[in-house]
Structure 1
């Protein structure tokens, strides 16, 4: 980690990243103490009391604004007229602003809203508070508000720009009491990929725990994102209901491989209303409404009910390229398959069941010595040259692993996990069955073996490994592993992928 000043990266309307320098952050020990109780805003009774008079003045300001609008309308119409309806900031705004690092100009509604749109720093630059266009609260937990650990190094973590660590562990907490009630929120990881990023051959894990007991686990494949880009990745969504009053906890980590890594910049972890799609900048209300009308029209116009796939739009944001402007054209394209996540996965719609289907391609596997050309080679698939096949030359230790987020699958649907493999004409060493292990999202494990010598050489085979049913909440991860560690040499196998097919 660097010893330079803290950095907040913001994104302008053109998607370019800019940097706002911060003061030096607290030590790691101080950060740990702060996170013991979470980041609290409205529980500070003294702050509430101190702002009571100011809150009253702002209330009067809103009243005068409404009365003025009423007078203007009355003059124009010559009689009673309805006042212009203005949305006011949430009732807890002044309480939150009591923790602002710098004074906020509340002399007029317009001036205060202008600052709240841009963002107000809180709690010694640990957080940023904003309002979206619908007057809902947004909170960004900035690098100074995160607990960042880099292995056994006990020195202070000054900035969230990763230079070189073998142990990545980032965590944080947030008290939800200041979120807008009855609003759907998303938890967003806001990060930048430096052009010099390295050391992320395996995905990074994340955990999220909500006050209602809901837990979300998943992975982030940083290697799938373009170098030098700013990214906003949605980790989880939840509704701010009475059940979720409490503390949200999150953790982002990779502590197993020991692989040195660097070049990643954590900008913020944000809690944003789902209707709001901007972090670094805001568009005019008219532009946003027009975009919503266009999106709604493009999706619903001339669309058959059987082609309606609500999950598809979120999934297709990860696509390398998608063709088909009409709903019918998109549906036909999805039946053929769309490559995702830098061509490591393939997303399809099963024509028979109209359910989501996925294939984790060979490039999405973690293969022992997979990048060593002495043992494995890679070549384009003749059926689709954008996909790659992994050909086993010879190894004495076979180990292949992969995973898929079940949130992408259709809920409450029975799926079959299928291995797509070719037994080469000159394959050898498979007289001992290979093992496989499936771990479902609820922790259930299934282990078995498959005798590849029983399959015809020179042919492709679809080998069913296991069946499972996705839950209604559909949150979690399915992991699979295929291995044979007896020590004898084997080769001639060609891997295409592992698919998740609806039954």
Structure 2
């Protein structure tokens, strides 16, 4: 019922809108089922303005294609689907359940050692990439990829993680023989992990105990399960619904968004052996669930 002195639905719609705006996008959608007053309040611009990031006008002005919308609720769900910004070199979206901001830096936005040398890296389009081009590793012995993003553009009071988004060619060479190291840093927070983009290669090498010849060494170096490197926990990549793989690089807590830059790195520089076949789409920064 919508009548009676104790009925919450008799409150002014503006009051109800204010209360709903203090919840979450999910709760707002659920509240629409309470009564007609709640339904009207739950779709109001007053509510959905609160779920949009404070700098959303600036973000929309950087969009590659204009974002059209008739209400703030429509805008919210429109940008939950990812939009390209900054000349297509970065993507932006909102997490649907919380409204937290998510970004992906394209490969062009990253610092890749020797990335501008065609003998080592090539750049080309892929149909299933959200960006116009990806970076493909041709041949390097020093693999180093770095990225950074301002913490102020991320949602405060939120735990984030950074993910390397990539593929590995079937005829890749050298990847997986040694593990890689990732670091994510924000202020005093430092998250480091040992990862392997090609764990099937690492497992085969351990099983057959094949020796690995390391550049600069006087003799063949055994790199198998008996070494310290292979006794530690190694993170493996996960498949994504979009056909790519992702590797969690590390996490951080974005307190007030005032700690400066989030610095991220992915490296394999110790072995000195040659590697090829890694395709990098970018680094995604999103709330960790």
> TM-score normalised by the shorter chain: which range applies?
0.5 to 0.7
**What count of residue pairs does the alignment treat as equivalent?**
202
Q: CA deviation at 1:358?
A: 0.8
Does residue 471 of the first structure (1) align with residue 213 of the second (2)?
A: no
Distance in 2 (CA, whole Å) between partners of 1:323 and 1:340 is 11
Q: CA deviation at 1:460?
A: 2.8
Q: CA deviation at 1:491?
A: 0.6
- What SS is found at the alignment partner of 1:336? coil
Partner of 1:229: none
Specify which structure has the bigger relative contact order, considering alpha-carbon pairs within 8 angstroms and separated by 6 or more residues.
2
Q: What value does the CA root-mean-square deviation take over the aligned residues?
A: 2.5
Q: Which has the higher strand share?
A: 1
Distance in 1 (CA, whole Å) between partners of 2:180 and 2:249 is 12
Does residue 377 of the first structure (1) align with residue 136 of the second (2)?
A: no
Q: CA deviation at 1:354?
A: 1.7
Query: TM-score, normalization: structure 1?
Result: 0.37
- What SS is found at the alignment partner of 2:244? strand
Distance 1:380 1:330, change over 3 A: farther
Distance 1:468 1:341, change over 3 A: same
Matches within 5 A, 1:58-97: none
Distance in 2 (CA, whole Å) between partners of 1:434 and 1:388 is 24
Distance 1:385 1:445, change over 3 A: closer
The one of 62, 68, 80 equivalent to 1:324 is 68
Q: If you compute each CA radius of gyration, which structure gives the higher value, 1 or 2?
A: 1
Distance 1:416 1:350, change over 3 A: same
Partner of 1:490: 275
Matches within 5 A, 1:423-434: 423-430=168-175, 431-434=177-180
1:371-420, Cα deviation, whole Å (9 max, x unpaired): 22221112223135643211111111111111011111111011111111
Q: CA deviation at 1:320?
A: 2.8
Partner of 2:135: 390
Distance 1:386 1:432, change over 3 A: closer
1:112-158, Cα deviation, whole Å (9 max, x unpaired): xxxxxxxxxxxxxxxxxxxxxxxxxxxxxxxxxxxxxxxxxxxxxxx
Distance 1:410 1:424, change over 3 A: same
C-alpha contact 2:82 2:94 (8 A) present in aligned 1: yes
Query: TM-score, normalization: structure 2?
Result: 0.63
Q: CA deviation at 1:315?
A: 2.8
C-alpha contact 2:183 2:250 (8 A) present in aligned 1: no
C-alpha contact 2:159 2:287 (8 A) present in aligned 1: yes
Distance 1:384 1:484, change over 3 A: closer
Gaps in structure 2 of 5+ consecutive residues: 1-42, 202-236
Q: CA deviation at 1:473?
A: 4.5
C-alpha contact 2:48 2:76 (8 A) present in aligned 1: no
Partner of 1:363: 108
